[in-house]
Structure formats: C-alpha cells, structure tokens
Structure 1
C-alpha cells in the first residue's frame, strides 16, 4: 500500500523524530512510503486568524502536492482536520472543489489510518510505564476521531493507561490562541497539568505535537517529571512485526 507522508510544520521543524517514528511504524506494517517535497503548511494558522485569501494559496499548493497520492497520512489530527475543511472552503470553485474533496477522502490521521484502513490494533509495541492520554480538540471535535488512539494504546505491552480527568478540555494551545490570549491559555494549561499530575502518570501521550509542546513546556516549568511522547513514538517501541489484521508475525 502506497502512503504519502504529510509531516506537518511542527513535526518537520521541531520534532522530526516523530515523523521518523511514524514512517518506521508504517513501513513495518507493509506500507510503501513517499514524501512529496512540495508540501508546506496546510494553511490552518492563517485561516484561523482570518486571512482566507492568503490561506487558499497554501491550501492549493497542498492539493497539488498530494494530487497523485493514494493515501495521505499525518501525525496530527488537527492538520488532517484542516484538510477535511478544504471542500467547504472551496465549495463552488470549478478549479479546486473536486481536488479538495479528493484530498479529504484519502487523508487520515496516523492512528486512524492504522486502525481503519490497515485494520491493525496491535502493532507489537512494548513500553513499560504508566501513561495518560490527552485528546486534542481538533482531532476530537473537527476530525471526529475519539477511539483509534485508545485502541492502539490498549495493546502496548507493559503500558498502564490511566484515564485523564476532563480529557475533553482544551490544553490552551489552540495555535494562535495561546499567542493572542496568553493569560487565559496559561490558566487552561495549568488545569490540564493538574489533571495529568492527579493520574500519577510518568508519561503523557497525545497525537498532536502542538498540545504536547504546550503541555510539556508548562510541566517542565513546574518541575514535573513527566515525559511527553507522541503516539507514533510509543507505537515505535516495538517487539515484532505485525501483519494486517493485528496478529504478530
């Protein structure tokens, strides 16, 4: 199965190890990977700030970058959710609407692709520790994906997963929100950090690096010894190769 990687800005520029982990997991699951070099930002930061015209240029570039891809997989529910907004943004545009729909229909968040397309829930991962999982707002509310990360984490050998109180609450990042409303953002991330501390977990896992960088930074400033890990990094702590359908080989 051929898969094109959408790296996202944060992973590409700040946490490339997450992208490497994602590629390694997918390759072990039998995927043939490529990376369209012309990809840039999905346009979300400027779009959320109200700059629609400028955002459309970035979006059009992304539609062309992945035009010939069979599947597009990204390590961010937020950025993939932005792809899923393209058909609304370009509705009625004779040149771009069909391209927008095509990109939406073949784009998946990393865990979503593994479970719903490859049909795998056990990737053979192994990680000793106690963890809790933060559900990002865009992945949960816009992309509508709530289950696939848990389905995969439940199969990680040695990992004890503790429920996170107020898991639906935003961490305060929200992209440009944390810059424009820093006082409110700080209170939100403090609440999130308190809930994480209450779980007793030594690992915080999420599927969006924006949230992890925000929460991880605040935890560090508070002196809390909690390790942050993107779910791709967790699933890359592997024991053995897994065939489609979930059985170990």
Structure 2
C-alpha cells in the first residue's frame, strides 16, 4: 500500500526521530511511504488563535501538498483532527470543497491507520517497564481514538500497560492556553503526572507530541522518576535503530 506521510511542524522541528520511527513502523507494516518535503503546517495554530483567513491560506497549501488518491498518515491526532474537523469551517462550499472532503476521508492518525485500516497491531516492539496511555483531547474527542493505541501497546513485549485515574482529562497544554494560563496549565500537568506515578508507571505514552512536551517539561522541572514517549517511538523500540 502506498501512503503519504504528514509530519506536523511540531514534530519536524522538535521530535524528528518520531517522524523517522513513523516511517519505520509503516514500512514494517508493508507500506511504501512517500514524503513531500514541500509540506508545512495544517494551519491549526492560526485557526485556534482565531485567524481563520490565515489558516485558510495554510490549509489550501496543505490540500495541494497531498494526493487525493492515497491514504495520508500522521503521528499526530491533533493535526489529523484539525484537518478532519476544522477544515469544514474553512472550506465547506468553497471552490475546493470536494478536494477537501477527499483529503479529510484519506487522512488518518497512525494508530487508527494501523489497527483499523491495515488490521495490524504487532510489530515486534520491546520495551521493559510499566506505562500509562494518555488520551489526548484531540485523539479522544476529535478523532474518536481510544482503543487503538492501547491495542498496539498491549502487544509490545515487556510492557505492562496500566490505566491511570482521569486518563481522559486534558494535560493542560492546549497550545496558547499553556502560555496564557500558565498556572492552570502547570497544575493540570501536575495532576496528570501524579496520576501516572500513583499506579507505578515509568512511562506516559500518547499520540500527540505537544502533550508529551508539556508533561516532560513538568517532569524535568520536578526531577520525577518517569518519562514520556510517543507511540511511534514505542512501536519502533527494540528492533533496528531508533
């Protein structure tokens, strides 16, 4: 199967290893992966800040950067949710209405694509330890993803997957929310990390690098015995170079 890879600007700039691990996992699943180096942003920062005209310009480029004939896979539920949902506000009944609808139906977050489209949930990954999965707001509420990451993690050798309290509560990042309301944001991160520590977790795993960046910053500041990992990095762990 041929797929187009969408790497959000956040991962491109801060977590390039997650992008490469996404490719490794997709190729191990039997996909031929194409990457358009001209791709940039989906427009989510501008859209969430209320700059819809600017978001539409960025979104129009996004639509042109990807093929309408192939699946589009991204290691970000947040950006996938932006395209699947917010593009309705930007492009419904516009000149690119049909193009937008096709792209929206083609784009999938990594775990949802692996489990529901490819029907594969085992990749020979190995990671010793105990982990919790953090349901990001975008994954759970925009992409309706809940069981898929857990199914994949349940098949990682050596990993004990635990459920923490309030797993579906926001971590506190929320883009500019973390800047505008830093006190509330930090308190929400504290609650999330403490819930993970309470069940003995050594890892917090999620589909969104932005959530993980926020939580890892709190962990580092408090020097806590736990770390964050992106799902793609876990699935590529224990085989080959990661």
**So what's the TM-score if we normalise by structure 1?**
0.93
* 2:55 aligned partner: 55
* 1:191 aligned partner: 191
CA contact (8 A) 2:125 2:235 kept: yes
* 1:145 aligned partner: 145
Q: How does 1:23-62 map to 2 (within 5 A)?
A: 23-62=23-62
Q: Please list the CA deviations of residues 144-163 of structure 1 after superposition, one character each: whole Å capped at 9, or x if unmatched.
A: 11110001111111100111
Q: Secondary structure at the match of 2:160?
A: strand
Q: How many Å separate the matches in 1 of 2:91 and 2:133?
A: 34
* 1:13 aligned partner: 13
Q: How many Å separate the matches in 2 of 1:233 and 1:186?
A: 25
Q: How does 1:38-117 map to 2 (within 5 A)?
A: 38-85=38-85, 86-93=87-94, 95-117=95-117
CA contact (8 A) 2:68 2:102 kept: no
Distance 1:224 1:69, change over 3 A: farther
CA contact (8 A) 1:132 1:205 kept: yes
Distance 1:13 1:239, change over 3 A: closer
Q: Please list the CA deviations of residues 7-38 of structure 1 after superposition, one character each: whole Å capped at 9, or x if unmatched.
A: 10111000000001110011111100111122
Q: Please list the CA deviations of residues 101-120 of structure 1 after superposition, one character each: whole Å capped at 9, or x if unmatched.
A: 01110000000110011111
Structure 1 position 173, deviation (Å) = 0.2
Q: How many Å separate the matches in 2 of 1:239 and 1:53?
A: 45
* 2:227 aligned partner: 227
**Aligned residue pairs, count:** 239
CA contact (8 A) 1:87 1:104 kept: no
Structure 1 position 3, deviation (Å) = 0.9
Structure 1 position 87, deviation (Å) = 3.0
Structure 1 position 68, deviation (Å) = 4.3
Q: Secondary structure at the match of 1:30?
A: coil
Could you say what the CA RMSD is over the residues aligned between the two structures, in angstroms? Answer: 1.3
2:171 corresponds to 1:171: yes
* 1:209 aligned partner: 209
Unaligned runs of 5+ in 1: 241-249
Q: How many Å separate the matches in 2 of 1:91 and 1:26?
A: 31
